[in-house]
Amino acid sequence: MTASVACIGECMVELREGSDGQLRRGFGGDTLNTAVYLARLGIGVDYVTALGDDAWSDEMLARWQEEGIGTRLVHRLPGRLPGLYVIQTDLQGERRFLYWRDSAAARHLFDRLDPAELAAFGTLYLSGITLSIYDAAARAVLFGALADARSRGTRVAFDTNFRPRGWPDRAAAHAAYAQAYTIADIVLASAEDLALLYGDAGEAELLRHAATTEIVLKLDHPACRVLHDGAELLVLAGPVKQVIDTTAAGDSFAAAYLAARLRGASPEAAARAGHDLAGIVVGHPGAIAPRAAMSRPADPKELNA
C-alpha cells in the first residue's frame, strides 16, 4: 500500500457535557478523528471536507494543520457554518450524541471538489456517516470518484459507522452500504452497527463480500474477527485500565489498523494495534486523546512478532 491517505467526511463543533452540566467545546467527527490519529502515527494524511468562513472553521483548519494533516482539499464555503454535536456519557463511559448539522458546510463538499483529485491518494477512507451527510446525487458523485480512483490503483477503506438518525430512509442506507461494500478493499465494521442497520441479517450481509474484501468485524465483547485471503481469525483485545469515554474508540482503532497495514503488518498484528490504541483513547474524555498518552509508532517487525 502507498502511505498516503485521504479521509473524507465532516468535522463538527463538539460540546462535551460534564457531570455538572457544564459544556466544554472541542472539535470532532469520525473520519477527522481517524485522520488525527493517522497523522500522529506518522502516516501522511489529508482531510477532504467543506467548512464555512466563520471563526470556528478557521480554528478547525489551524488545529488540523498543527496535527500535520494536509488541508489542500478543504473547501471554504462563504456563509456556511460547521455542524455541531453534544456528547453525553453515562457512568460506564458509554456515549449519546445529539446533532445539529442539517445545513452544515460539509454537506456541500461536492459543490466545489473536483472528484478526480481523489485519485492522487494511495488510500481513501470514509465511513457510513460520510455517506449519510450527502444527498443521493452527491453520493453518486462520490461513488463514481471512488470507482475511478480504485481503477487507478487507489485502495478504499470503509468504516460502517452507522447512526440511525442520519438515515431516515433505511432503504437508502441499505443501497449506499451495498455500494460501499462492493467498492471497498477493506471494511472495518462493528456488530453493533450491523445490528442497527440490518437486524439479525447484518453479519451475513457483510460476510457475503469476504472472498474479495479484507474485513475486520469488531464484536460486542473485546475482540474482533479478521477475514483476509480466505483465512479467518479472532483477535482479542487486552485489558483496559479505565473507561472514561468511548467516543472515537472505533475511529482510533481504524487509524491504528490502517497505519499498521500501510507499514506492512499482517491483518492480525494490525488488529492488535487497533485494540491497543482504542484502549488508550477510551481512557480519556472526548474524541482526541492527549498526544502524550500515545506511544510511538510501532515498527512492522514488532507488530508481526
> What value, to the nearest 5°, has the Cα angle with vertex 135 and ends 129 and 141?
95
Cα–Cα distance measured from residue 109 to residue 107, given in angstroms and rounded to the nearest whole number: 6
End-to-end CA distance of the chain, in Å? Answer: 20
Place of cell 481503477: 151
Give the count of beta carbons closer than 10 Å to the beta carbon of residue 27: 21
Cα–Cα distance measured from residue 102 to residue 108, given in angstroms and rounded to the nearest whole number: 11
Q: Is 300 helix (H, G, I), strand (E, B) or coil?
A: helix
Cell of 101: 448539522
- Please say if 251 is a catalytic residue: yes
Cα–Cα distance measured from residue 9 to residue 51, given in angstroms and rounded to the nearest whole number: 11
User: What are the CB-based long-range contacts (under 8 Å, 24+) for 137-144?
Assistant: 138/107, 138/109, 138/110, 139/176, 141/110, 141/115, 142/8, 142/110, 142/115, 143/179, 143/180, 143/183, 144/115
Cα–Cα distance measured from residue 104 to residue 82, given in angstroms and rounded to the nearest whole number: 5
Q: Which of 46, 193, 251, 276 is catalytic?
A: 251
Catalytic residue set:
251
